[in-house]
């Protein structure tokens, strides 16, 4: 009977789930019967102690124990602050449980300005609803351990965007074992895919799990072609695509993103997703984040003054987050904000080009001139829930499931996933672009 009552109360959608997360104390159990049981036992003990006259001595002893243990705990906190251990507990103690939420974005979240300030159509409610749907799909993935490929956050982002846009054709550059091809297929079961990758995913099948799609044209192995060298007119004709704005292009090939943007514009594509939109000072290729991390952008550009608060904060955060970077790594000679330090990284860091600060600045203006929409996927959940240690929250927007909302995290099924799948967030970005008018 109770089981039936609980299942009737369980809301069908994440949006509704979100509304009830705090209502059950955040643990998601919603089990009132347990609480009642505890109260009645406590009442019985209290009654007994009052009757026998032991109540006051026991209360005094209890108070002394509470005072002594709180002194011990706070002195342990002081030790943790000075320790360089990067474990999760010490990180929480260092930044404080209450401070976690406000910590997000505290060092700036740069973004690329679009031509007319247009935004995406979807809302955070749509993302939550999408998450609820995607978790069980993700659990059926053929490649359970996708090291060097996408983790949960970006898999969700790609699936969500593809499903929202409903493209007539999906192009992928950088397939590896085929996990992202599988994600695209889950979003759009009948839509053709074109996949470009130097090594055919079927090669990986000999060694372990991989995914090869039946409705995908592979330009891979001996047939490999780079995105920039493809005859896209021929491919579009073959697939009967007349309107290239009905095509979604997904890049996970670690190439200079400015180069890819220019190639995509030339081919007439409009909807682009970049998997690794690396933060300034990190990564192996020039990214939109880096390009747009400029002084004139809110959240962009930074103080290079060595004695600044920012320098101190960055230095401290490096101990806790793998992708956090020191001011030393970001600034040029004369304490000049330089971000990418004179290099346009390309092709997994193998073919970097020297650029001047002026060129770097002009690149951001160029990106803005062709940009209709810029949207960074937020992290799926806060680090106190996912235990991720990679991205620095201070450089990131607020997660879809915020820290402290364990009830929601659990109800969405996220607590059942292996924690390692949450360690791959690098600000995946969706761009809508069109050639500039000049
Ligand atoms: C990070 S992996 C892709 C992971 C994959 N999307 C996933 O989620 O599992 C990068 C892939 O890009 C491929 N690659 C390297 N150069 C490339 C190029 N010029 N064009 C397309 N793919 C390239 C690599 O061989 C590798 O398979």
Q: Specify the DSSP class assigned to residue 237.
A: H
Query: Considering 42, 70, 99, which residue would you say is the last residue of a domain?
Result: 99
Specify the pLDDT at position 59. Answer: 62
Is the CB of residue 252 below 6 angstroms from any atom belonging to ligand 1?
A: yes
Nearest protein Cα to ligand 1, atom 11: 174
Residue 304 tokens read as: 């290079």
Nearest protein Cα to ligand 1, atom 25: 198
Query: Mean pLDDT across the chain, nearest whole number?
Result: 81
How remote is the CA of residue 151 from the centroid of ligand 1, in Å? 14
Question: Which has the higher per-residue pLDDT, 78 or 388?
Answer: 388
Question: What is the tens place of the pLDDT at every residue in 230-249?
Answer: 999 999 999 999 999 999 99
Is the CB of residue 179 below 6 angstroms from any atom belonging to ligand 1?
A: yes
Is the CB of residue 146 below 6 angstroms from any atom belonging to ligand 1?
A: yes
Question: Degrees (nearest 5) of the Cα angle 257, 431, 310?
Answer: 70
Identify whether residues 93 and 130 lie together within a single domain: no
Specify the pLDDT at position 278. Answer: 95
Assess whether pLDDT exceeds 80 at residue 92: no
Identify whether residues 416 and 384 lie together within a single domain: yes
Indicate whether 284 belongs to any domain: yes
Rounded to an integer, the average pLDDT of 112-126 is: 96
Rounded to an integer, the average pLDDT of 327-342 is: 77
Identify whether residues 252 and 202 lie together within a single domain: yes
Closest ligand 1 atom to residue 154 Cα is 8
Distance CA 172, CA 196 (A): 6
Assess whether pLDDT exceeds 60 at residue 311: yes
How remote is the CA of residue 154 from the centroid of ligand 1, in Å? 15
Assess whether pLDDT exceeds 70 at residue 101: no
Distance CA 257, CA 264 (A): 10
Assess whether pLDDT exceeds 50 at residue 384: yes
Specify the pLDDT at position 352. Answer: 87
CB 291 within 8 A of CB 357: no
Indicate whether 296 belongs to any domain: yes
Specify the pLDDT at position 93. Answer: 46
Query: Considering 42, 74, 99, which residue would you say is the last residue of a domain?
Result: 99
Assess whether pLDDT exceeds 50 at residue 23: no
Assess whether pLDDT exceeds 70 at residue 4: no
How remote is the CA of residue 259 from the centroid of ligand 1, in Å? 16
Specify the pLDDT at position 249. Answer: 99
Is the CB of residue 199 below 6 angstroms from any atom belonging to ligand 1?
A: yes
Helix crossing, 55-82 with 32-52: angle to 10°?
A: 130
Question: Which has the higher per-residue pLDDT, 239 or 308?
Answer: 239
Indicate whether 380 belongs to any domain: yes
Identify whether residues 81 and 121 lie together within a single domain: no
Helix (H) / strand (E) element for 154: namely: helix 152-165
Q: Among 79-88, 144-153, 265-274, 297-306, whose mean pLDDT is lowest?
A: 79-88
pLDDT band at 102 (very low <50, low <70, confident <90, very high): low
Rounded to an integer, the average pLDDT of 32-41 is: 32
Integer CA distances (angstroms), 12 to 127, 157, 290, 415, 417, in order: 15, 22, 40, 18, 20
Testing ligand 1's pocket by substitution, the residue of 187, 198, 204 carrying the most ligand atoms inside 8 A of its CB is: 198
Distance CA 58, CA 52 (A): 12
Is the CB of residue 149 below 6 angstroms from any atom belonging to ligand 1?
A: yes
Identify whether residues 41 and 69 lie together within a single domain: yes
Parallel, antiparallel, or unpaired for β 271-274 and 247-251? parallel
Indicate whether 355 belongs to any domain: yes
Q: Among 14-18, 198-202, 256-260, 297-301, whose mean pLDDT is lowest?
A: 14-18
Testing ligand 1's pocket by substitution, the residue of 221, 253, 284 carrying the most ligand atoms inside 8 A of its CB is: 253
Place of tokens 């499931």: 401
Out of 45-54, 277-286, 348-357, the most confident range is 277-286
Q: Which domain holds residue 295?
A: 105-433
Query: Considering 74, 99, 124, which residue would you say is the last residue of a domain?
Result: 99
Is the CB of residue 350 below 6 angstroms from any atom belonging to ligand 1?
A: no
Identify whether residues 248 and 184 lie together within a single domain: yes
Identify whether residues 249 and 338 lie together within a single domain: yes
Is the CB of residue 181 below 6 angstroms from any atom belonging to ligand 1?
A: no
pLDDT band at 267 (very low <50, low <70, confident <90, very high): very high
Specify the pLDDT at position 203. Answer: 97
Q: Identify which of 425, 418, 419, 378 has the alpha carbon closest to the alpha carbon of residue 402.
A: 378
CB 170 within 8 A of CB 193: yes
pLDDT band at 266 (very low <50, low <70, confident <90, very high): very high
Is the CB of residue 176 below 6 angstroms from any atom belonging to ligand 1?
A: yes
Distance CA 410, CA 401 (A): 10
Distance CA 367, CA 307 (A): 33
Indicate whether 237 belongs to any domain: yes
Specify the pLDDT at position 156. Answer: 98
Identify whether residues 52 and 180 lie together within a single domain: no
Q: Identify which of 284, 343, 337, 287 has the alpha carbon closest to the alpha carbon of residue 314.
A: 337
Specify the pLDDT at position 263. Answer: 98
Assess whether pLDDT exceeds 90 at residue 119: yes
Is the CB of residue 98 below 6 angstroms from any atom belonging to ligand 1?
A: no
How remote is the CA of residue 256 from the centroid of ligand 1, in Å? 13
Closest ligand 1 atom to residue 150 Cα is 8
Rounded to an integer, the average pLDDT of 223-229 is: 98
Distance CA 127, CA 204 (A): 33
pLDDT band at 55 (very low <50, low <70, confident <90, very high): low
Indicate whether 328 belongs to any domain: yes
Specify the pLDDT at position 5. Answer: 28
Question: What is the tens place of the pLDDT at every residue in 413-435?
Answer: 999 999 999 999 999 999 999 99
Helix crossing, 357-370 with 257-267: angle to 10°?
A: 40
If phi > 0 it is left, if psi is from -120 to 50 it is alpha, else beta; for residue 308 that is beta
Specify the pLDDT at position 186. Answer: 98
Question: What is the tens place of the pLDDT at every residue in 163-199?
Answer: 999 999 999 999 999 999 999 999 999 999 999 999 9
Identify whether residues 166 and 84 lie together within a single domain: no
Domain count, the chain: 2
Q: How many CB atoms lie within 10 A of CB 107?
A: 20
Indicate whether 438 belongs to any domain: no
Identify whether residues 389 and 245 lie together within a single domain: yes
Specify the pLDDT at position 238. Answer: 98
Share of the chain above pLDDT 70, in %: 76
Specify the pLDDT at position 341. Answer: 78
Q: How many CB atoms lie within 10 A of CB 303?
A: 15
Assess whether pLDDT exceeds 70 at residue 329: yes
Assess whether pLDDT exceeds 70 at residue 280: yes
Nearest protein Cα to ligand 1, atom 13: 174
Identify whether residues 285 and 401 lie together within a single domain: yes
Indicate whether 155 belongs to any domain: yes
Question: Degrees (nearest 5) of the Cα angle 382, 101, 299?
Answer: 100
Identify whether residues 112 and 74 lie together within a single domain: no
Specify the pLDDT at position 304. Answer: 82
Nearest protein Cα to ligand 1, atom 19: 226
Is the CB of residue 157 below 6 angstroms from any atom belonging to ligand 1?
A: no
């Amino acid at each position: 009977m109770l089981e039936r009552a609980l299942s009737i109360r369980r809301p069908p959608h994440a949006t509704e789930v979100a509304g009830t997360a705090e209502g059950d104390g955040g643990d998601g159990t919603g089990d009132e019967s347990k609480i009642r049981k505890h109260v009645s036992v406590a009442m019985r003990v209290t009654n007994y102690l009052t009757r026998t006259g032991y109540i006051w001595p026991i209360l005094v002893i209890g108070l002394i124990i509470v005072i002594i243990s709180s002194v011990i705990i706070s002195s342990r906190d002081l030790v943790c602050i000075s320790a360089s251990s990067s474990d999760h507990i010490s990180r929480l103690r260092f930044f404080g449980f209450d401070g976690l939420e406000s910590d997000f974005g505290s060092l700036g979240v740069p973004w690329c300005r679009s031509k007319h300030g247009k935004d995406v159509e979807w809302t955070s409610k749509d993302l939550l609803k999408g998450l609820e749907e995607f978790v069980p799909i993700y659990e059926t993935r053929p490649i359970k351990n996708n090291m060097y490929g996408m983790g949960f956050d970006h898999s969700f982002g790609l699936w969500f965007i593809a499903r929202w846009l409903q493209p007539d054709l999906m192009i992928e550059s950088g397939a590896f074992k085929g996990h992202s091809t599988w994600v695209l297929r889950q979003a759009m079961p009948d839509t053709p895919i074109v996949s470009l990758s130097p090594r055919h995913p079927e090669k990986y099948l000999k060694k372990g799990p991989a995914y090869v799609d039946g409705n995908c044209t592979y330009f891979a192995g001996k047939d490999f072609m780079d995105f920039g060298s493809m005859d896209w007119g021929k491919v579009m004709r073959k697939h009967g695509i007349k309107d290239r704005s009905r095509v979604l292009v997904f890049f996970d090939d670690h190439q200079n993103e400015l180069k890819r943007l220019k190639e995509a514009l030339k081919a007439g594509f409009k909807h682009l997703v970049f998997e690794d939109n690396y933060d300034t000072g990190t990564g192996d290729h020039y990214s939109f984040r880096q390009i747009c991390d400029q002084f004139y952008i809110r959240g962009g550009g930074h103080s290079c003054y060595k004695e600044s608060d920012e320098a101190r904060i960055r230095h401290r955060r490096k101990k806790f987050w793998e992708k956090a970077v020191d001011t030393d790594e970001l600034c040029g000679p004369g304490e000049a904000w330089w971000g990418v330090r004179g290099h346009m990284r390309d092709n997994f860091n193998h073919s970097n080009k020297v650029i001047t600060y002026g060129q770097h600045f002009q690149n951001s203006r160029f990106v803005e001139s062709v940009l209709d929409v810029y949207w960074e996927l937020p992290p799926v959940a806060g680090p106190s829930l996912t235990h991720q240690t990679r991205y620095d929250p201070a450089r990131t927007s607020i997660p879809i499931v915020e820290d402290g909302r364990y009830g929601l995290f659990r109800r969405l099924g996220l607590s059942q996933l292996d924690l390692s799948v949450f360690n791959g967030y690098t600000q995946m970005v969706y761009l809508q672009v069109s050639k500039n008018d000049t």
